[in-house]
Amino acid sequence: MTDLARETAPQPATAAAVAPVPRPSTALLTDKYELTMLQAALADGTADRRCVFEVFTRRLPTGRRYGVLAGTGRVLEALEHFRFDDAELEFLERAAVVDARTLEFLRDYRFSGTITGYAEGETFFPGSPLLQVEGTFAEAVLLETLVLSILNYDSAVASAASRMTSAAVDRPCLEMGARRAHEQAAVAAARAAVVAGFAGTSNLEAGLRYGLPTIGTAAHAFTLLHDDEVSAFRAQVETLGTGTTLLVDTYDVRRGVENAVAVAGPGLGAVRLDSGDLGSLAVEVRRQLDELGARDTRITVTSDLDEYAIASLAAVPVDSYGVGTSLVTGSGAPTCGMVYKLVAREDSAGTLQPVAKASANKTSQGGRKGAGRRLDEDGRAVEEVLVTGPDEAVAGWSADDAGLRPLLVPLVVDGEVDARHVGADGVRRAAETHLRSRAELPRGARRLSAGDAAIPTVQLSLG
């Protein structure tokens, strides 16, 4: 197998690749007002009221036809580390953030509620109830910022990545944007990209933490280190084998290709182009490689690619794409605009009541939602169906019974995280979910031109 093939082919994670990584407490990855609300609720006796919060977005980024949910597994991993240990409590006391009663509550905090949501990798639309957090107000309100910071970023990256892998069709896309993002965001971006179909990442921490295939060979610096290009190529081939990928545009591309084949022979794995007019260069390089007998040598291109650049290269003899900056910044949409809103809470009599905001341009729909997707006879999605009504009726509603594809799955039950959604297995499961979900969208959903949501969202009232 060539080096490039190894780079682009998904590989099974080793035991070391999925070993648990020590994590610090995530409890202070939050906003102060969540703790001050908790203090006030403890004081007036409303902290124990049962509540339902929902995560949704009111609109998709301008011109986008669908979104991709990513980060759910990371939310669940963070939830397991949401603990107020001595260091966190000492800070809160020293900074006078909350009073002594609240500190005692936080010392024993463990989320014991239930979380339901769309499966990670699922496509979504405006109003989709992507996550439903049910528990006491005290338990659930503390999770708002943590949940949103993860889902908004990861889903923005995955939504961009899905457009890129769609434009690439069967050609692999490789994530290499770590140097363009915060060091921890880079790990999250690599994970989200693989959820949306990327074949691998250059980020080794992401490889360790989530069992992702890692890729990479050499940069221009390695060529410049040596007295000449031939010496650099020879050193790389002697170390990594003829299946490696040689970067041929440090100096003159045509001479670079000649040197690469001269050193590695016709069995050279791949060449990489990182500058210039990639379309015309790829055509010339393909012709040159064939003339030199390197017909199986592949061509990978990098250099500030986005989904539009990838689409423009569809008819060009390119074998894979390396994407960085545009991917980790959401390709123009760095957030999904998700919100975390209280939609139902117990009243003083213990009855769960729907609640909703009426603020201008920021309205919310009260009450827990059910969700299903209606498919036509060809298995294509035609509408997103949101179910509303009395809480007991919605909780007992079945999408299957209504002839819809179910969208909500259990993620946390009575405080216990479903382990199928975390770690390397969670990423693989999410990637499979995304492929199925995107494939069922109407064909026009994958066009890159601006347009409305691929399918409409409709409401079904149970009473």
Binned at pLDDT 50, 70 and 90, residue 364 comes out as confident
Residue 338 β-bridge partners: 57
Over residues 180-202, mean pLDDT: 97
Count the domains in the chain: 1
Q: Which amino acid is at 164?
A: M
Instruction: Give yes or no for a contact between 115 and 411, defined as CB atoms under 8 angstroms apart.
Output: yes
**4 falls within a domain:** no
pLDDT value for 1: 39
Tokens standing for residue 213? 């295939």
pLDDT tier at 49 (50, 70, 90 boundaries)?
A: very high
pTM as predicted: 0.93
Asked if the structure places residue 257 within a domain, the reply is: no
| Strand order from edge to edge, sheet including 245-247 | 200-201, 173-175, 320-323, 298-301, 270-273, 245-247
Alpha carbon of 169 to those of 112, 174, 288: distances in Å?
43, 13, 25
Please check the confidence at residue 142 and state whether its pLDDT lies above 80.
Answer: yes
16 alpha-carbon distance from chain centroid: 23
Q: Within a domain: residue 213?
A: no
The residues, any chain, with a CB within 8 Å of residue 406's CB and separated by 6 or more, are 371, 372, 398, 399, 400
180: in domain: no
- Kindly provide the b/e burial profile for residues 28-67, where b requires at least 16 CB atoms within 10 angstroms of the residue's own CB: bebeeeebebbbebbeeebbebbbbbbbbbeebbeebbbb
CATH number of the CATH domain containing 73: 3.20.140.10
Query: Does 21 score more than 60 pLDDT?
Result: no
Give Cβ neighbours of residue 357 (< 8 Å, ≥ 6 apart). Answer: 341, 363, 364
- Strand partners of residue 385: 372, 458
Q: Are strands 131-136 and 114-118 parallel, antiparallel or unpaired?
A: antiparallel
**Is 451 inside a domain boundary?**
yes
- Does the residue 386 lie in any domain? yes
Residue 174: CA count within 13 A, CB half-sphere: 25
Q: For 389-432, write each residue's pLDDT tens digit.
A: 999 999 999 999 999 999 999 999 999 999 999 999 999 999 99
Question: What is the rounded CA–CA span in Å between residue 377 and residue 369?
Answer: 26
Note whether residue 315 is domain-resident.
Answer: no
Q: Mark 266-302 as b/e (b = at least 16 C-beta within 10 Å).
A: eebbbbbbbeeebbebbbbbbebbeebebeebbbbbb
Average pLDDT score over residue span 385-391: 95
Sign of torsion over alpha carbons 376, 382, 384, 387: negative
pLDDT at 22: 55
| pLDDT of res. 2 | 41
What is the average per-residue pLDDT within 97-104? Answer: 98
Answer yes or no: is 152 within a domain: yes
- Find residue 230's DSSP bridge partners: none
pLDDT tens digit sequence for 23-46: 689 999 999 999 999 999 999 999
What was the pLDDT predicted at 156? 98
Q: Please compute the mean of the pLDDT values over residues 213-219 and round it to a whole number.
A: 96
pLDDT at 114 over 50: yes
Is residue 4 predicted with pLDDT exceeding 70? no
Domain range holding 103?
Answer: 16-156+333-461
Please report the pLDDT score of residue 5 as a whole number: 40
Closest CA to 310 of 160, 431, 440: 160
Helices (H) and strands (E) in the chain, counts: 17, 19
Q: What is the pLDDT of residues 276-330, one digit of tens each?
A: 999 999 999 999 999 999 999 999 999 999 999 999 999 999 999 999 999 999 9
CA 454 to CA 381: how far, in whole Å?
9
What is the tens place of the pLDDT at every residue in 234-280?
999 999 999 999 999 999 999 999 999 999 999 999 999 999 999 99
Q: Is the pLDDT reported for residue 16 higher than 80?
A: no
Percent of the chain with pLDDT over 70: 95
Is the pLDDT at 99 greater than 60, yes or no? yes
The more confident residue out of 192 and 9 is 192
